[in-house]
Amino acid sequence: MMGIADQDIDQLGGPWSILVRQRRDHEHLDVLLHQLDVAPAGAEEERVLGRIARLVFPHAFAEESVLWPELRRRLPDGEALTLQVEREHQEVNELWTALEQLPAVGAARCDVLKRLADVLREDVRDEEDELLPRLQQVTSVPRLRALGVAWEAVRRTAPTRPHPVVSRRPPGNALAALPLTVLDRSRDGLDAVARRVPRLHPVATRASGALAGAAGRVERAGVLRRGEDPSTRVE
C-alpha cells in the first residue's frame, strides 16, 4: 500500500481529489511548523500560530464531517482507524486551549508547543500512511473527486478555533458549524484589527474576548455534543 506522499497528482485522482487536497494542506502545515520552530516568542510566534489555527481547525472539522464518516462506511475497521485520528484532533484542541491560558513565555508554554507540534505531525503521518491510502483502495476516482469538492466546501466555512467540548462526530459537529464559524471568524477579524490598529487594540480585544465567552457557552449546548465517542468527550 503506497502512501499518498509517494504518488503524483494523477495517481491520486487529479487536483480535485480529496487525496491531493489533503496532501496540499499537510505540506502547508509542515512549512508553518518549521516557521513556528524558529519564531521568537511574542508577536511573531502568535502570527504563525494564528496561521496554523486557520489551517488546522477547518481542515480537521471538514475531515470529521465529510471524510471520516465515509471511511467508517467503507472499511470494516474504519471505526478504529478514524477514532485514533479523532483522539489526536481532540488532543490538539485541548493543547491549544491550554496554550491560550499560558503566559507568552516560560517552560510550560514551550512544553505545550512541542507537544502540539508532535501531535500535528503524528496526525499527518497517520492520515498519509494509513487512512488515506486505505480510502484510496476502496474508492473510485470520481468519488474521490466528489469527496474533495464536499470537503473543500466544508473547510471554507468551518470554525477556525479550538472547540474541545463539541462532538468530533455528526450530528453534533455538523450542528455546531454555523454558530461557531460565525463567532470564530468574527474573532479573527477583531484580532486582526487589534494587531494592525493600535488605538483600537483595547476595544477589539475586549470584543474578541466577549465572543470567546459566547463560543464557550455555545459549545456546551447539549445537542452539539451528540455523537461523541466517550474517549474524546470533555465534561
Residue 118: predicted pLDDT: 97
User: Roughly how many angstroms between the first and final C-alpha of the chain, as a whole number?
Assistant: 39
Residue 84: predicted pLDDT: 94
Tell me the H-state helices in 39-140: 43-62, 68-74, 78-100, 107-126, 132-138
Residue 167 is given by DSSP the state -
Q: Does 235 have pLDDT greater than 80?
A: no
53 shares its domain with 13? yes
Q: At what angle do helices 172-196 and 43-62 cross, to 10 degrees?
A: 160
Q: Which three cell numbers stand for residue 134?
A: 486505505
Predicted confidence (pLDDT) per residue in 68-124, tens digit: 999 999 999 999 999 999 999 999 999 999 999 998 889 999 999 999 999 999 999
| Structural domain for 86, as ranges | 1-158
Other residues' Cβ atoms within 10 Å of the Cβ of residue 193? 16
Location of C-alpha cell 508554554: 109
Q: Does 16 have pLDDT greater than 80?
A: yes
Confidence bin at 157 (pLDDT 50/70/90): very high
- Residue 198, helix vs strand vs coil: helix
185 shares its domain with 102? no
Q: Which residues of 125-157 are buried (b: 16+ CB within 10 A; e: fewer)?
A: eebbbebbbbbbeebeeebbbbbbebbeebbee
How far is the C-alpha of 61 from the C-alpha of 65, rounded, in Å? Answer: 6
Other residues' Cβ atoms within 10 Å of the Cβ of residue 25? 19
58 shares its domain with 25? yes
How far is the C-alpha of 18 from the C-alpha of 226, rounded, in Å? Answer: 27
How far is the C-alpha of 122 from the C-alpha of 119, rounded, in Å? Answer: 5
Residue 104: predicted pLDDT: 85
Confidence bin at 1 (pLDDT 50/70/90): confident
CATH number assigned to the domain comprising residue 142: 1.20.120
11 shares its domain with 100? yes
Q: Does 126 have pLDDT greater than 80?
A: yes
99 shares its domain with 149? yes
Predicted confidence (pLDDT) per residue in 203-227, tens digit: 999 999 999 999 999 999 988 889 9
The whole-chain average pLDDT of the chain stands at: 95
Determine contact, residues 116/97, Cβ cutoff 8 Å.
Answer: no
Residue 182: predicted pLDDT: 96
Residue 161: predicted pLDDT: 96
> pTM score > 0.85 for this model?
yes
Look at residues 126, 158, 190 and tell me which one is the last residue of a structural domain: 158
Number of domains in the chain: 2
How far is the C-alpha of 67 from the C-alpha of 21, rounded, in Å? Answer: 12
